[in-house]
Structure 1
Amino acid sequence: MPCTVVKDIEIDDDSKDKFGSISALVKTADGQLHKISDRKKLVPLTVPEDYDGVPDVLYLPNVTEASLLHALRVRYNRDEIYTSAGPILMSVNPYKTITMKDGLDLYAEERMLLYRNSKSNPGASSNLPCHLFQVADKAYKELLKSVISTDSLPPSPRKGEDTLIKLTKTSRKAMNQSIVISGESGAGKTEATKKIMQYLAGVTKNKATTAEQCDNGGSKTTSLEDRVLSSNPLLESFGNARTLKNDNSSRFGKFIKISFNIESGTIAGASISNYLLEKTRITTQIEGERNYHIFYQIFSGADDATLTKFKLNDGVAAFYYLGNRPTLKSRHDASAFEETMKCLDQIGLVEKEKSDVLGILAAVLHIGNIVFEVVKGEEDHSGEKATISESSAESLKIACNLLDLEETKVSEALLTKTLSVGGKTIHKPQDVVQASDKRDAFAKLVYSSLFVWLVNKINTTLDLDIALPESADSTFSPVRCPYTPPAPTGFIGVLDIYGFENFVNNGFEQLLINYANEKLQRYFNKHVFEVEQIMYSDEGVDWTYITFNDNQPCLDLIEGGVGNVGVLSTLDDSGGMGTAAERDVNFLAQLHQKFGGVTGPSTMD
């Protein structure tokens, strides 16, 4: 933090015990006085660039952590939330809407065109302020610019097709681009992903649309670009939730691959890969956090007939998986529900499919209301038997009806465990804790399967090879006569993944999230520091070696090196027989034994 030295303090030996090793009294910009223990740690601002907050921190005369943070602070106070570090764009979440000096919103369409129109003047984009649009535009231009020709013949046509396929000796190939968006929870990764997608869709938008036949005989017209963008709010509804740090936190990772026709530069298709959906949130949330948005949207946006149909009349407070807290509802839920329904239309869901989606969501909530109790007077050597309480039997019935499952089979699956011993099948009764775990696992499976189905449905509507209805305009149908080979394509990938997480209680999901981030950090270290510095050495560039914290030992600990064990393989080895508590103890003991070090298990506490 910027400060002014008010007074240097000389500490004699007799006063050190009382005052410590204070060597300066400083005043910060907010007028507060602070004692600094080491005067030498203060970094002086000596040149104009130190005060101005340069748009690219690589141009700071003295690149240190202090000068970098100061530059970010100065720019943030001027509502300049984007700062470059060479090819990297740093963003500081402003938590507000920003209007620039020209009167336009920071993400206005007119501003989008400024970066797009820099195509006519290659150097123009460098004169524009740092922005997400600049990153997206660079990726787009690099994709089209990287197109190369390879001398190769396509496969010989089958007999009778020689008049339909025009052979050329040159095929074109592009170098695919990727944009990695990383940061801690609440940093603005999801919003950055949306803005980048809006830019790529907006600047390449084709006025041509695809007409899809509706059940009622009408037609709905949706452009490919609109379908790409409609995936965002849909995935947010089903995959985002309110956390203590962020009201719209992504609880899954996604890699969005947007394909472009490298001849016309227009979007040709897209696909989404999802990772690490946070399944535990479906059944439990800490105080102040919410389940996934879609559950609350239903109660705020669905009409009374829909709520009655799915037995949701009693509201949020009636369902255990929603924390029994009606105060978690938001004023935005009703409008978000309406948008979600529109997005389901845009990806091609008919009314019955939309109703089925809502029914599955309601079933998950009713599953959570199934309560187990001990069967009185029926105990064996394996412990107390569990049964479904009479008061929650209706919840089981409703859930099974909505999922079209047999109630007796679901009840048996929850209350017993099937074992195969000596060729015989044994049904072992479960206690209350075990049955509750199976109930929660069932709910997680249902919801996660719905989420995967939705992602697949989105991908189907964005697929390059999607087969359109016969009523579709043949101009845009992949089935044409005479046949012409598809145009060559390349893609821009956008990775939006969890940030590092460190809670009071961290589970397996936090381990995987942080492991993924460590892998990304290692990739960054390798390509930004190691590869670049090797290239400098090979080319004889006069430079000073940059030291950096290498996280490879951390990765080796988690995943294990060649011939070595890691935390993940140890976890696999410890998942044998016994109760969950016994397996936990076994896992911890193995961690102490393998990784505790010479000082013993206490180093792992």
Structure 2
Amino acid sequence: GESGEGKTGNTKKVIQYLAVVASSHKGKKDTSITGKFIRINFDVTGYIVGANIETYLLEKSRAIRQARDERTFHIFYYMIAAAKEKMRSDLLLEGFNNYTFLSNGFVPIPAAQDDEMFQETVEAMAIMGFSEEEQLSAQKVCHLMGINVTDFTRSILTPRIKVGRDVVQKAQTKEQNNPPGVLALLDEECWFPKATDKSFVEKLCTEQGSHPKFQKPKQLKDKTEFSIIHYAGKVDYNASAWLTKNMDPLNDNVTSLLNASSDKFVADLWKD
């Protein structure tokens, strides 16, 4: 589904139903900006006993830049709207108009009060076992991460990149021993130093060329194009820059600096 169409909202409704009980987009007040896999665990009697959420994607372009009528993550608006004098002093918070990250202004949501939503968020964190100290650490921003601002700026502007992946060996069953899919082939191709987006598409055509849902355009405008027939119809893809995006290289200078933070919460986030 497209951004803001309601995938996350519908997922929440399904979970609420089973339990028996985000940021803002121009076309919808909530949009996730992340891709996530949600697993709900049931016991033998059918009751929910737990859940896992695995985040596997962050739409970085949307996280760092918003259109005029869009918001970034709600929590930043919540904090500024609800912050009393002590919190403003502790977190060095300023007005909405002082933050380029917030589109240089306040973007309200009809029928929603940011200060009230902040209190609900804090209460939810308390229910999940976050101490007041941990909550404050999570609320700290940029230069309050316990790191030197000059060092942080230098690390951002002079990145040192390392690309690495974990390998897990697992025997395949007969049913699993099929030609690898698009994402598996993309992961595999990222291992080869001389691999390109073109070589990835060529391998994809070799492995999946006979699949009834896979098509290679008859008249190629670009050698990185291919098509997949989804339930809603055919979708054309251009794999340009897919390898780079899939490897998602980390800036070693930044990660090392954050790992050395004097704030335990921040350091723990980067210890691995």
**What range describes the TM-score normalised by the shorter chain of this pair?**
0.5 to 0.7
Q: Which residue of 2 aligns with 1:193?
A: 11
User: Which of residues 310, 314, 317 is equivalent to 2:91?
Assistant: 310
Distance 2:116 2:103 in 1: 22
Residue 215 of structure 2: SS of its match in structure 1? helix
> Residue 559 of structure 1 contacts residue 568 of structure 1 at CA under 8 Å; is this kept in 2?
no
Measured at CA, do residues 318 and 554 of structure 1 come closer, stay the same or move farther in structure 2, by a change above 3 Å? farther
Matches within 5 A, 1:440-459: none
Q: Distance in 2 between matches of 1:417 and 1:196?
A: 42
* Partner secondary structure for residue 348 of structure 1: coil
1:258 pairs with 2:76 = no
For the residue of structure 2 that corresponds to 1:242, the secondary structure is: strand
User: Aligned partners of 1:417, 1:256: CA distance in 2, in Å?
Assistant: 33
CA-CA distance at 1:269 after TM superposition: 1.6
Distance in 1, Cα, partners of 2:216 & 2:57: 20
**One of 281, 289, 294 as aligned partner of 2:62:** 281
- Judged with a 3 Å threshold, the aligned counterparts in structure 2 of structure 1 residues 350 and 554 are, in CA distance, closer, same or farther, namely farther
Cα distance in 2, alignment partners of residues 272 and 408 from structure 1: 35
1:468-507 mapped onto 2 (5 Å cutoff): none
- Per the alignment, do residues 553 and 407 of structure 1 end up closer, same or farther by CA in structure 2, a change over 3 Å counting? same
Q: Is the 8 A contact 1:256 1:273 kept in 2?
A: yes
Q: Where does residue 342 of structure 1 map in the other structure? A: 123
Q: Which amino acid is 1:246 matched to? A: K
Task: Decide whether the 8 Å contact of 2:33 with 2:63 is kept in 1.
Answer: no
In terms of Rg, which structure is larger?
1
Q: How do residues 55-74 of structure 1 correspond to structure 2 at under 5 angstroms?
A: none
**Which residue number in structure 2 is paired with residue 321 of structure 1?**
101
Secondary structure at the counterpart of residue 71 of structure 2: coil
Partner of 1:222: none
Letter in 2 for 1:282: A
Paired with 1:300 and 1:572, the residues of 2 have a C-alpha distance of: 41
Change (3 A) 1:266 1:299: same
Q: Deviations over 1:248-279 (max 9, x none)?
A: 122222221111111x3222221011232222
Once the two structures are TM-superposed, the CA of residue 297 in structure 1 deviates from its matched residue by: 0.6
In 2, Cα distance between the equivalents of 1:265 and 1:257?
A: 14
1:367-393 superposed Cα distances (whole Å, 9 cap, x missing partner): xxxxxxxxxxxxxxxxxxxxxxxxxxx
Post-superposition shift, 1:286? 1.3
**SS of residue paired to 2:133:** helix
Aligned match of 1:352: 133
1:303 Cα deviation (Å)?
2.1
C-alpha spacing 1:408/1:291, structure 2 compared with 1 (3 Å): closer
Q: Go from structure 1 to structure 2 and tell me whether the alpha carbon gap of 1:286 and 1:261 turns closer, same or farther (over 3 Å shift).
A: same
- TM-score, length-normalised on structure 1? 0.27
Check conservation: 2:4, 2:25, Cα contact below 8 A.
Answer: no
Match of 1:557 in 2: 225
Matches within 5 A, 1:81-160: none
Change (3 A) 1:273 1:306: same
Counterpart in the other structure of 1:243: 25
Shift of residue 350, structure 1, vs aligned partner = 0.5
Q: What secondary structure does 2:53 align onto?
A: strand
Q: Deviations over 1:65-94 (max 9, x none)?
A: xxxxxxxxxxxxxxxxxxxxxxxxxxxxxx
Gaps of 5+ in 1: 1-182, 204-239, 364-398, 420-529, 531-549, 561-565, 574-605
Aligned pairs for 1:382-401 within 5 A: 399=143
**Helix, strand or coil for the counterpart of 2:12?**
helix
Is the 1:253–1:274 contact (alpha carbons within 8 Å) kept by the matching residues of 2?
Answer: yes
Structure 2: distance between partners of 1:572 and 1:417 = 19
| Cα distance, 1:572–1:282 mapped onto 2, change above 3 Å | closer
Deviation at 1:416, TM superposition (A): 4.0
Q: How does 1:8-87 map to 2 (within 5 A)?
A: none
Work out the CA distance in 2 between the residues paired with 1:411 and 1:194: 39
Distance 1:569 1:301 in 2: 43
Shift of residue 201, structure 1, vs aligned partner: 1.2
Q: From the superposition, tell whether residues 557 and 257 of structure 1 become closer, same or farther in structure 2 (CA, over 3 Å).
A: same
Residue range with higher mean Cα deviation, 403-412 or 551-560: 551-560
Percent identity (aligned)? 32
State whether residues 38 and 53 of structure 2, in contact with CA within 8 Å, keep that contact through their aligned partners in structure 1: yes
C-alpha distance in structure 2 between counterparts of 1:408 and 1:559, whole Å: 47
The separation in 2 between residues aligned to 1:275 and 1:296, in whole angstroms, is 25
Partner Cα distance (1:315, 1:554) in 2: 52
Pair 1:301–1:338, CA change in 2 (3 A): same
What is the alpha-carbon distance in structure 1 between the residues aligned to residue 33 and residue 157 of structure 2?
31
Change (3 A) 1:569 1:282: closer
The one-letter code matched in structure 1 to 2:8 is: T
CA shift, 1:334, in A, is 1.4
Task: Give yes or no for the alignment of 1:332 onto 2:113.
Answer: yes
Going from structure 1 to structure 2, the CA distance change for 1:266 and 1:336 (only over 3 Å counts) comes to: same
Change (3 A) 1:320 1:187: closer
Say whether the 8 Å CA contact 1:259–1:268 is kept in structure 2: yes
Query: Is 1:299 the counterpart of 2:117 in the alignment?
Result: no
Q: Give the structure 1 partner of residue 145 of structure 2.
A: 403
What is the 5 A alignment of 1:164-203? Answer: 183-202=1-20
